[in-house]
């Protein structure tokens, strides 16, 4: 859990020990409703938005110039704003999978992944939406199980959210499934319901 980090609205960093799940976040969740956003970063990543008893999952917005795919920064920004404005930014939490180098991706692949991660994180922080960065090993161990593959994430998300069966039916939908699980991880941690 030491790898989890919350970035407050003014860019101030707090450890998880300083932001207890038993603080007023649980009360906000019960009284005013919360919006939880899970983001699986990358060009094949996804976003899940959870709140008011609803959950949706979609691919990260992209555009293609004919040779390369790029993050649609304005589309991503608008998506986050729309989600955060439903309950207000203080009642919103983005749970972003922390980037880590993957030697199998090579230098260019790692560079592109880091660039996309930086763009996503920069947009979140610039919008002043509370952010929880969580290491893959931390959330996957809790939500899927240690050492399980991408399809295991899809199956775990389908068990928790069978209403998303149409959005998670293909193996290639594992990014959406991981975004859903990240949103649920954030909800469980910050609502004080550590049921894993």
* Domain containing residue 78: CATH number: 3.30.420.10
Model confidence pLDDT, tens digit, residues 13-36: 333 333 333 333 333 344 348 999
Does the predicted model carry a pTM greater than 0.95? no
Q: Let me know if residue 196 belongs to a domain.
A: no
Where residue 190 falls among pLDDT bands split at 50, 70, 90?
confident
- Secondary structure of the chain in HEC code, one letter for each residue: CCCCEEECCCCCEECCCCCCCCCHHHHHHHHCCCEEEEEECCCCCEEEEEECCEEEEEECCEEECCCCEEECHHHHHHHHHHHHHHHCHHHEEEEEECCCCCHHHHHHHHHHHHHHHHHHHHHHHHCCCCEEEECHHHHHHHHCCCCCCHHHHHHHHHHHCHHHCCCCCCHHHHHHHHHHHHHHHHHHHHCCCCCC
Q: Which residue has the higher pLDDT, 106 or 11?
A: 106
**Euclidean distance between CA atoms 178 and 52, whole angstroms:** 20
Model confidence pLDDT, tens digit, residues 73-130: 999 999 999 999 888 888 999 999 998 766 676 777 778 888 999 999 999 999 999 9
Structure tokens at 82: 């729309």
Q: Let me know if residue 101 belongs to a domain.
A: yes
Structure tokens at 170: 């293909």
How many domains does the chain divide into? 1
Domain hosting residue 155, numbered range? 5-190
The answer to whether residues 156 and 181 touch, using CB atoms and an 8 Å cutoff, is yes
pLDDT exceeding 90 applies to what percent of the chain?
A: 59
Cβ neighbours of 162 (radius 10 Å) = 9
Q: Let me know if residue 195 belongs to a domain.
A: no
Residues 151-169, mean pLDDT to the nearest whole number: 94
């Amino acid at each position: 859990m030491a790898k989890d980090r919350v970035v407050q609205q003014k860019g101030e960093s707090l450890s998880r020990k300083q932001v207890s799940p038993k603080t007023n976040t649980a009360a906000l969740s019960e009284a005013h409703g919360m919006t939880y956003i899970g983001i699986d970063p990358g060009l094949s990543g996804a976003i899940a938005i959870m709140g008011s008893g609803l959950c949706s999952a979609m691919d990260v917005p992209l555009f293609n110039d004919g040779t390369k795919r790029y993050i649609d920064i304005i589309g991503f920004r608008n998506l986050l704003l729309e989600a955060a404005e439903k309950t207000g930014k203080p009642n919103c939490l983005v749970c972003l999978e922390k980037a880590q180098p993957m030697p199998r991706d090579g230098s260019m692949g790692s560079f592109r992944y880091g660039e996309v991660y930086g763009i996503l994180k920069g947009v979140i922080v610039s919008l002043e939406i509370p952010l929880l960065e969580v290491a893959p090993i931390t959330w996957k161990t809790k939500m899927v199980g240690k050492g399980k593959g991408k399809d295991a994430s899809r199956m775990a998300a389908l068990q928790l959210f069978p209403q998303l069966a149409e959005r998670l039916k293909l193996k290639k939908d594992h990014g959406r499934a991981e975004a859903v699980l990240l949103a649920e991880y954030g909800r469980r941690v910050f609502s004080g319901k550590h049921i894993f």
